[in-house]
Amino acid sequence: MKRPEKRYLMLDKNDITNACGTITAKEIKKELNFTPQDLNQFVHLGKIFRNKYILIEDEDVYEDQLILEVEDARKYYATATGRFYVVYKSGLKREIYPFPKKKENKMVMIVKLNSKEYYAKNVIASAFLGWKDRSQVVRLKDKDFKNLTVNNIAIIDRNENLSLLAKKVGLFEKNKLVNVYPSIAETARQLSISDQTVRNYCSNVNKKHKYDLRYI
C-alpha cells in the first residue's frame, strides 16, 4: 500500500487560527533544499516559512527512518510512533522493544541496537528531528518517559533547559494576569500547543497571538 504524501498546513504567522492553504513535504524540501530531517526540525522549532507562514502537519505521516546499518546487512529502523525494528538480509523483519531503565535517578527508555544500548528518545530525536548537537537537550513534553512519539519530543539548549525549570508563564487577557503556569511544558500541555509556540508567544508579547503569554 502506497504511503500518503505528507502535507503541511500554512498558518498566518500573525494569526495562527487562519489557515492559508497546504503544501506538500516534497515541495518544501525542493524549495528549501532540505533533507527529511531538516524539514522535521524546521517545523518542530516553529520557524517561519516564506516570511509569513508557520507550518504544522496536516497529516501525521512520517516515513520510517534508517538509523543503523551493520556489516551483515542488518538494517535498523525507527518509527515516528517511537517503535524500532530490524530488517535482515533475508527480508525478515523483527520488532525491537525499548525497555525501562533507571539512569541518574530517573527512569528512561533504552533501546538495544546491534547489542549496544541507547537512550530511545535520543535516537528518535536524531532520526526525525536532526538532533546531533550535544549542547542541546532532548526532552519529553508530557514528561512520560514511555511516550517516545516524535510529537512528544522537544529539543532545547542545555542552558535554556536549566533556566526553564524555574521559569513561570503567565496567561493575560486584556493586559490582566488570569492564570499562572509553573513551566513552559505545563503551559503547552494545558493550552494544547507546542513548547516552541509558548516560547514564541512569550518572546513576542506585542504581536497578535492566539494567547497572550508572558514570562513572569
Distances from the Cα of 216 to the Cαs of 21, 183, 198, 206, in angstroms? 35, 10, 13, 15
Residue-level pLDDT at 76: 96
- 148 and 88 belong to one structural domain: yes
Selection from 204, 203, 198, 205 nearest residue 183 by Cα: 198
Residue with cell 500554512: 10
Q: Do 42 and 29 meet the contact criterion of CB atoms below 8 Å apart?
A: no
For the chain, residues with pLDDT lower than 70 are: 1-5, 58-61, 158-166, 204-208
Is 87 among the domain residues? yes
Residue-level pLDDT at 61: 59
Is 129 among the domain residues? yes
Is 153 among the domain residues? yes
Residue-level pLDDT at 124: 93
pTM of the complete model = 0.54
Is 2 among the domain residues? no
Residue-level pLDDT at 1: 31
- 51 and 93 belong to one structural domain: no
**Domain range for 194:** 166-215
- 102 and 148 belong to one structural domain: yes
User: Which of 116, 133, 157 is the last residue before a domain boundary?
Assistant: 157
Which residues are registered as beta bridge partners of 173?
176
Q: Distance between CA 166 and CA 168 in Å, rounded?
A: 6
- 128 and 86 belong to one structural domain: yes
Element housing 54 (H / E)? strand 53-57
User: Which of 36, 57, 78 is the last residue before a domain boundary?
Assistant: 57
Is 45 among the domain residues? yes
Tell me the CATH number at 89.
Answer: 3.90.75.20
User: Which of 157, 178, 197 is the last residue before a domain boundary?
Assistant: 157
Instruction: Count the domains in the chain.
Output: 3
Is 96 among the domain residues? yes
Is 51 among the domain residues? yes
Four-residue CA torsion sign, 121, 122, 123, 124: positive
The three-state (H, E, C) secondary structure of 166-212, written as one string: CCCEEEEECCEEEEEECCHHHHHHHHCCCHHHHHHHHHCCCCCCCCE
Residue-level pLDDT at 98: 95
122-178 pLDDT, tens per residue? Answer: 999 998 888 877 778 888 877 789 999 887 888 877 666 555 555 788 898 888 889
